[in-house]
């Protein structure tokens, strides 16, 4: 952690990493220069040349493509042609798909960026601000003074606190909201059962998959529940140290989080006697050096251990062998947030919150062709059609052609499945996956082949390169798709993709490679007529 933190500090101070700084760092820390070079070349946030006076980073991913990022970038590039002080770069999803096309000007978030000229002067940039607090149902506290009440009520008896947290979470059936849906109570139970004296709790706030931005909203508006959920988890599993692994593009949300951490320390919720429990629990923020792959839990651990963020083989799972070899509980931001109301009100309350036949509440990132994209708190079991209605309908009154119910790694579904309830099992039965609950709506008239290619390109770009099939296979697939699109190869080439997808699925170490071709295969299954014909 310390080495990457020092590199990030140097980059922040000077805007780039010069040879001399790296040499001095290597000597000061007594680490070989090649190790430092290995880190700098792996992580996307580092640069080795002085930055321009103005850099405009334009998101190139699927939701921004729907919202015209291609035209925006072309016009910006024209403006930059004779301007040495202006650099235009394409970047992967900025986590602000509700503000598409999203940009970052000198690393500060902005959007929707409709006027390229407006991005050239600070006074006309549509800067984004952290949203003011929102009235979410999951927040059990009506006033600021009430916050942390659940933790404070339980801390007098730690074994009882642990039992209560685990049994309420198990009974509620809460599943992880980071994509894989692993049962949360079971995970806390497994880490609690480990005998080590040193354990860690990590909040995964790396959120980088196109279409996913709910964690950003939760960090900004419910940071006290993130902290309380982590503290309850720390006391349950026997950890004294918590780390929030935060994507670097969430700088404005980081301020809200830091304020909440200060407040929690001032109240005595964090520290050597956390909430008066007699146990220590402290939380620090680690800013990600960049890259979608770092959201994968073992890649995240590698980064925290100052190595290149390449996923580890599993098992062993982080719950047994995690950070620095110690048992580590890793949960998503939303998972920690939801754990608090469940523990506060009980699992029966939670079960009553769902739509008929379903349990609980869910935060959904809704984007694409809808009138009001954004984060919605819905009863689990709400249908996609109902969600679109809440968001003011499809943009410009168009009809839906397709949708992705769980972000970039889920399968396209056709419009006739809009009545599917948003729930892990029902979406799986409908042929896709809920994942992180990132619903992307695609209206009639969009080029689905192009959008599916964009998604495969995202996985190709973000592959860490550790597994040959993922590194080479995703690159090859993008090549095939691009050649089919421009007519330089026959559409018959698409026939090799199912076998390639199967190879990736069976031989990739992590979920990225396993799903890299899912977008195009599902698009071809449901919309074969969308293939460009010569
Ligand atoms: C390529 C890849 C990227 C991921 N990115 C994230 C992420 O940004 N945030 C997250 O919480 N989980 C992410 N995950 C899932 C994590 O590996 C892990 O399952 C999750 O953090 C566990 O928390 P949960 O049980 O609360 O869902 C990712 C997985 C993969 C394969
Ligand atoms: S599947 Fe891809 S992203 Fe995952 S470890 Fe292998 S090469 Fe890296
Ligand atoms: S910000 Fe562009 S796809 Fe997410």
Domain containing residue 392: CATH number? 3.10.20.600
| CATH code at position 270 | 3.40.50.11540
Chosen domain end from 316, 333, 348? 348
How many separate domains does the chain show? 5
Q: Is 168 domain-assigned?
A: yes
Phi, psi of 493 (to 5 degrees): -60, -25
Question: Does the CA dihedral 473-297-435-219 come out positive or negative?
Answer: negative
| CATH code at position 525 | 1.20.1440.230
- Do residues 324 and 208 share a domain? yes
Q: Whose C-alpha lies nearest to ligand 2, atom 8?
A: 464
Ligand 1 pocket member 291 (CB < 6 A): no
| Eight-class DSSP state of 505 | H
Report how far residue 478's alpha carbon sits from residue 483's, in angstroms, rounded to the nearest whole number. Answer: 9
- Do residues 439 and 453 share a domain? no
Ligand 2 pocket member 204 (CB < 6 A): no
- Do residues 439 and 325 share a domain? no
Q: Is 38 domain-assigned?
A: yes
- Residue 13 is predicted with a pLDDT of 94
**Tens digits of per-residue pLDDT, 433-479?**
999 999 999 999 999 999 999 999 999 999 999 999 999 999 999 99
- Do residues 164 and 238 share a domain? yes
Q: How many residues are there in the chain?
A: 534
Q: Is 137 domain-assigned?
A: no
Nearest listed ligand to the Cα of residue 207: 1
- Residue 82 is predicted with a pLDDT of 87
- Residue 152 is predicted with a pLDDT of 97
- Residue 434 is predicted with a pLDDT of 94
What is the 469 CA–ligand 1 centroid distance (Å)? Answer: 21
Exposed/middle/buried for 30, CB within 10 Å: 0-12, 13-18, 19+? exposed
Atom of ligand 3 nearest to the CA of 211: 4
Nearest listed ligand to the Cα of residue 176: 1
- Do residues 372 and 340 share a domain? no
Report how far residue 105's alpha carbon sits from residue 469's, in angstroms, rounded to the nearest whole number. Answer: 36
- Do residues 30 and 88 share a domain? no
Exposed/middle/buried for 34, CB within 10 Å: 0-12, 13-18, 19+? exposed
Chosen domain end from 124, 157, 184? 124
Q: Whose C-alpha lies nearest to ligand 2, atom 4?
A: 510
Q: Is 130 domain-assigned?
A: no
Atom of ligand 1 nearest to the CA of 175: 25
Q: Is 8 domain-assigned?
A: yes
Q: Is 92 domain-assigned?
A: yes
Report how far residue 338's alpha carbon sits from residue 380's, in angstroms, rounded to the nearest whole number. Answer: 13
- Do residues 272 and 219 share a domain? yes
Atom of ligand 2 nearest to the CA of 504: 1
What is the 308 CA–ligand 2 centroid distance (Å)? Answer: 12
DSSP string, 301-327: HHHHTTS---PPPSSSPTTTS-GGGS-
Q: Which residues pair with 287 in a beta bridge?
A: 246
Q: What is the pLDDT along the chain (534 residues), one digit of tens a residue?
A: 999 999 999 999 999 999 999 999 999 999 999 999 999 999 999 999 999 999 999 999 999 999 999 999 999 999 999 899 999 999 999 999 999 999 999 999 999 999 999 999 999 999 999 887 789 999 999 999 999 999 999 999 999 999 999 999 999 999 999 998 999 999 999 999 999 999 999 999 999 999 999 999 999 999 999 999 999 999 999 999 999 999 999 999 999 999 999 999 999 999 999 999 999 999 999 999 999 999 999 999 999 999 999 999 999 999 999 999 999 999 999 999 999 999 999 999 999 999 999 999 999 999 999 999 999 999 999 999 999 999 999 999 999 999 999 999 999 999 999 999 999 999 999 999 999 999 999 999 999 999 999 999 999 999 999 999 999 999 999 999 999 999 999 999 999 999 999 999 999 999 999 999 999 999 999 999 999 987
DSSP string, 379-428: ETT-BHHHHHHHTTSBGGGPPEEEEETTSTTSPPEEGGGTT-BSSHHHHH
What is the 104 CA–ligand 3 centroid distance (Å)? Answer: 11
What is the 100 CA–ligand 3 centroid distance (Å)? Answer: 6
- Do residues 402 and 368 share a domain? yes
- Residue 511 is predicted with a pLDDT of 96
CB contact at 8 A, 177 and 204 = no
3-state DSSP call for residue 297?
helix
- Do residues 320 and 232 share a domain? yes
- Do residues 359 and 335 share a domain? no
Chosen domain end from 301, 319, 348? 348
Residue range(s) defining the domain that contains residue 427 = 355-443
Greatest alpha-carbon pair distance for the chain in Å reads: 72
Q: Is 229 domain-assigned?
A: yes
- Residue 131 is predicted with a pLDDT of 83
Tokens 């991005």 -> residue: 119
Report how far residue 337's alpha carbon sits from residue 347's, in angstroms, rounded to the nearest whole number. Answer: 15
| CATH code at position 72 | 3.40.30.10
**Tens digits of per-residue pLDDT, 92-139?**
999 999 999 999 999 999 999 999 999 999 999 999 998 877 899 999
Q: Is residue 106 reached through a cis peptide bond, with omega within 30 degrees of 0 on the bond before it?
A: no
Cβ neighbours of residue 485 under 8 Å, at least 6 residues apart?
Answer: 449, 450, 453, 532
- Do residues 28 and 113 share a domain? no
Ligand 3 pocket member 60 (CB < 6 A): no
CB contact at 8 A, 162 and 235 = yes
Report how far residue 456's alpha carbon sits from residue 330's, in angstroms, rounded to the nearest whole number. Answer: 27
Q: Is 162 domain-assigned?
A: yes
- Do residues 321 and 238 share a domain? yes
Global pTM exceeds 0.85? yes
């Amino acid at each position: 952690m310390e080495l990457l933190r020092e590199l990030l500090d140097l980059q922040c101070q000077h805007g780039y990493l010069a040879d001399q700084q790296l040499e001095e760092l290597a000597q000061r820390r007594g680490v070989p220069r090649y190790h430092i070079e290995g880190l700098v070349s792996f992580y996307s946030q580092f640069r080795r040349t002085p930055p321009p006076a103005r850099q405009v980073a334009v998101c190139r991913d699927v939701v921004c493509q729907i919202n015209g990022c291609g035209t925006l970038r072309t016009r910006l590039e024209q403006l930059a042609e004779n301007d040495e002080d202006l650099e235009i770069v394409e970047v992967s999803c900025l986590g602000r798909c509700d503000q598409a096309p999203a940009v970052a000007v000198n690393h500060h978030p902005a959007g929707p960026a409709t006027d390229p000229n407006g991005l050239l002067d600070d006074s006309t940039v549509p800067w984004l601000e952290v949203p003011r607090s929102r009235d979410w149902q999951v927040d059990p506290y009506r006033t600021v003074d009430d916050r942390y009440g659940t933790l404070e009520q339980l801390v007098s008896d730690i074994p009882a606190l642990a039992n209560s947290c685990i049994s309420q979470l198990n009974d509620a059936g809460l599943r992880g909201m980071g994509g894989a849906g692993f049962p949360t109570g079971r995970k806390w139970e497994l880490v609690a059962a480990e005998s080590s004296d040193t354990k860690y709790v990590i909040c995964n706030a790396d959120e980088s998959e196109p279409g996913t931005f709910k964690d950003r909203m939760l960090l900004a508006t419910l940071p006290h529940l993130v902290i309380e959920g982590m503290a309850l988890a720390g006391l349950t599993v026997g950890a004294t140290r918590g780390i929030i692994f935060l994507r670097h593009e969430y700088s404005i949300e980081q301020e809200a989080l830091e304020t909440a951490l200060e407040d929690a320390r001032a109240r005595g919720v964090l520290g050597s006697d956390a909430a008066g429990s007699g146990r220590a629990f402290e939380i620090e923020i680690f800013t990600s050096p960049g890259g979608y792959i770092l959201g994968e839990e073992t890649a995240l651990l590698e980064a925290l251990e100052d190595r290149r963020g390449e996923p580890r083989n599993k098992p062993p799972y982080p719950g047994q062998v995690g950070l620095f070899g110690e048992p580590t509980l890793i949960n998503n931001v939303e998972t920690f947030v939801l754990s608090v109301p469940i523990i506060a009100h009980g699992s029966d309350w939670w079960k009553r919150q769902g739509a008929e036949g379903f349990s609980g509440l869910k935060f959904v990132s809704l984007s694409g062709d809808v009138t009001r994209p954004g984060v919605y708190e819905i009863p689990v079991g709400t249908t996609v059609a109902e969600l679109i209605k809440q968001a003011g309908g499809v943009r410009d009154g168009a009809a839906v052609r397709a949708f992705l119910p769980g972000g970039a790694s889920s399968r396209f579904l056709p419009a006739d499945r809009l009545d599917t309830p948003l729930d892990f099992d029902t979406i799986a039965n409908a042929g896709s996956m809920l994942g992180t609950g990132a619903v992307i709506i695609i209206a009639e008239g969009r080029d689905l082949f192009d959008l599916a290619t964009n998604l495969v390109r995202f996985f190709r770009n973000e592959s860490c390169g550790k597994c040959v099939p993922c590194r080479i296979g995703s690159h090859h697939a993008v090549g095939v798709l691009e050649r089919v699109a421009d007519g330089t190869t026959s559409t018959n080439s698409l026939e090799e993709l199912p076998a390639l997808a199967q190879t990736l699925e069976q031989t990739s170490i992590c979920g990225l490679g396993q799903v890299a071709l899912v977008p195009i295969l599902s698009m071809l299954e449901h919309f074969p007529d969308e293939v460009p014909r010569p």
